[in-house]
A and B are shown apart, each in its own frame.
Chain A
Amino acid sequence: MKTATKRQYSMVIDLHRCVGCSACDIACKRENNVQHSFAWSNHILETRGTFPNTSFRYIPTLCNHCEDAPCVAHCPTTAMHKDDNGLTMHDADKCIGCRACQQACPYGVIYFNQERPHRHYREYLKPAIAGCTSTGPEAAQAADVPIPVYNPTRATTYPGIRPQGIVEKCTFCDHRLAVGEQPACVEACPADARIFGDKKDPESPVSIALRDHASRVLKPEKGTRPNVHYIRDY
């Protein structure tokens, strides 16, 4: 469904600049308190051809914030919805955890909390290196925070840690956008491979990048009209 929004936040990923360091993945986990085994910011690794004519591709992935988002159409409770900035947002209060969005999403970027989150930190009482590293609970106690790594600013627009029984996904760091900052993955990228901005503003860096380069999106045949574009593919 086409929705008219004030802005359309989009991301352009310059694959020529990307060095594949995964700093975006780590920054995202840190910023959004993303739990063990989930990766709102993720990547595809692809090796093509046969030796010696091989090529290697590293494609960073995240929620595409599709304009015609199948997760929004499939959610029975309107927990998944589009906001005024064109973001595909998830309302944790309305989510019943039916996972219809997960099945509908062709990109596999929605995650479901089967159990109480961050079990890894709470229950793994053996240190990684005995006598050297701390366990999760020890570190949490020392830092006086719920888990060793907890960013309280995440909780301004979305539960800081998503509870058991609901899904979660990338929000383009809407809590950072609200105070005029860039998403954490964009800020963390050492190669400036990620460009973020309002696609409806013709002078935004995103619009300029899309104007200057041929771009592609993931699975265009699904008709979802994603807002994460890739330029300068090898």
Chain B
Amino acid sequence: MAGASSHSQEVRPAILDEVNPVDIPRQACVDNNRSFNWITEKICGIIEEKTPTWWWVCFIIACATASFTFIGLGYLVVTGVGVWGLANPVNWGWAIVNFVFWIGIGHAGTLISAILCLLRQKWRTSINRAAEAMTIFAVVCAGLFPVFHVGRVWFALYPGYLFPFPNANGIWPNFRSALLWDVFAVSTYGTVSVLFWYIGLIPDFATVRDRAKTKFRKIAYGIVAMGWRGSNRHWSNYEMLYLILAGLSTPLVLSVHTIVSFDFAISLVPGWHTTIFPPYFVAGAIFSGFGMVITLMLPLRAIYGLQDLITQYHIDCMTKIILATGTMVGYAYGMEFFIAAYGANDFEIFAFVNRAFGNYAWAYWIMISCNVISPQFFWFKSIRENTTLVWVISLFVNVGMWFERFVITVTSLSRDFLPSSWGYYSPTVVDIFTYLGTFGLFSVLFLLFLRFVPLMAMAEIKAVTPQADPHHAHTHKAGSGDYVNN
């Protein structure tokens, strides 16, 4: 306590008067001095209020759209993979494009929850919950494609073929195959993401339980809150577990998309067989993940009036990450050409020239416009402060990153080594509707999340408000008033 008392005397070292350092205030993560109570009321209010009409409209549309995926996949299982547009020489088409697209979307969640947590980025608290939910739902959508693109789906799911249960049918999977690494990478990533999400939810579920007015809600939220009472011991264990999970899942942020890139890079196909793929894929994944976070969060911010919790500072941080990762991706696009030219391999050079100026040049230039040019607008503060423009650019990022995967997959495969085996890939109606349906599936899950789970990590947001600072009382005049409850 000696320390506390000496602090209260406000002894200022003489040196400070001499150098007179500039006191730069920390950027507030919650605007307008909102109180703890306001934060609880705001976030719990979202799941406690009567289900709004717009939610029902969106939910019905999302369910109808999701049915496309299930109809498409059912038709595929019954008829055969021929219902998709896969044919020599393009034997991996939209399936892997959509898989990589959704896995990439999922990247922002783990980045925000794990890496930004370890780096003590306080602004993560307002967006981590929704981003983690987005990650999990994106992994669900992603997982459908690799499973269903195989010729014999029932065998792919059968234990022993991809998961090692050697005694069940006497075989081991091939640990040299990048596809098998994918099985482990994605399933580990999915598991840790769910765990991380759930651990963070426990204190908030307890808050919802304590506020519940019906018996059903009390019991339901009581079960998922796992007896949380908010004691010191609980908080201590919680903080420790959260930190350990953050440490464990940090490598996952890098490993998942690295391994997804190995699906391509390990093969000998010109345009795929490059060492730049892992870092380039990881940067692209974070880029697309943040694009999707903005696409989802800005409308929610407007609908639920969350401007004080997702402030301009948050939008600035996210757009700057998009700018940085978008520039990295642009660098990788350029570097691929340089390496192809420098390597002096005719096939490699052709693959890249064909990408930019061949049959699929339209897709390539959509990709360049969306991924390299559009994020450059975020250099300008006026654009970062224009919510509508930020949202529109985030849509471009999503579109561009889908096209990136399309360009990588299809342009390389459509031009085989011999002109006799060249082809032009086109998706079928089944391809298109199966893909569109995954947006419905994603939306169904996300809308359910909005209704039943606190949208933001209340406990964590409260921890980054000024009044949560133990030294706050020393810098804040008592009785001046203060926290805005409404």
Contact = CB atoms under 8 A, between A and B. Distances in A.
Nearest to A218: B417
Interface in B144-165: 146, 149-152, 155-156, 161-162
B417 A74 contact: no
A165 B81 contact: yes
Contact of B151 (A74, A106, A113): A113
A1 B417 CA distance: 24
B172 interface: yes
Contacts of A97: 81, 150-152, 155
Specify which of A99, A104, A167, A219 lies most central, judged by the most chain B CB atoms within 10 Å of its CB. A99
A165 B418 contact: no
B177 interface: yes
A96 B152 contact: yes
Given A96-B150, A103-B269, A74 B80 contact: no
A97 B150 CA distance: 5
B420 interface: yes
A99 B84 CA distance: 14
Given A74-B267, A99-B91, A104-B267, A114 B80 contact: yes
Interface in B387-420: 413, 416-418, 420
A94 B91 CA distance: 19
A96 B161 contact: yes
B183 A102 contact: no
B187 interface: no
Contacts of A167: 151
Given A99-B91, A112-B91, A115-B80, A76 B152 contact: no
Contacts of A70: 267-268
Contact of A108 (B87, B171, B179, B417): B417
Contacts of A96: 150-152, 155-156, 161-162
A185 interface: no
Interface string A58-96: 000000000000101111111000000000000000111
B151 A102 contact: no
A78 B174 contact: yes
B176 interface: yes
A104 B268 contact: yes
Contact of B416 (A99, A108, A113): A108
Contacts of B266: 73-74, 104
B173 A164 contact: no
A98 B156 contact: yes
Nearest to A73: B176
A16 interface: no
Contacts of B180: 76
Contacts of B457: none
Nearest to A165: B151
Interface in B416-435: 416-418, 420-421
Interface residues of A, number: 37
A112 B149 CA distance: 12
Contacts of A44: 418, 420
A77 B152 contact: no
A15 interface: no
A165 B92 CA distance: 14
A120 B184 CA distance: 40
A213 interface: no
A80 to B, nearest CB: 8
Interface string A136-175: 0000000000000000000000000000111100000000
Contacts of A57: none
A22 B263 CA distance: 36
A232 interface: no
Nearest to B345: A221
B176 to A, nearest CB: 5
B152 A165 contact: yes
A219 B91 CA distance: 21
B279 interface: no
B117 to A, nearest CB: 34
Contacts of A45: 420
Given A97-B150, A97-B151, A102 B91 contact: yes
A74 B177 contact: yes
Contacts of B441: none
A108 B89 contact: yes
A210 interface: no
A164 B153 CA distance: 11
Given A96-B156, A222-B268, A76 B81 contact: no
Nearest to A103: B267
B171 A114 contact: no
Given A76-B162, A99-B91, A103-B413, A108 B421 contact: yes
Given A78-B174, A98-B156, A164-B80, 20 more contacts: A1-B176, A73-B174, A73-B176, A76-B177, A76-B183, A77-B161, A77-B162, A97-B152, A97-B155, A98-B146, A103-B269, A108-B88, A108-B416, A108-B418, A112-B91, A114-B82, A114-B86, A164-B151, A166-B151, A167-B151
Minimum-distance CB pairs A-B, first 3:
A97-B151, A165-B151, A114-B82
14 contacts: A70-B268, A73-B266, A78-B171, A95-B155, A97-B81, A98-B151, A98-B179, A99-B92, A99-B151, A100-B177, A100-B263, A111-B88, A114-B81, A164-B80
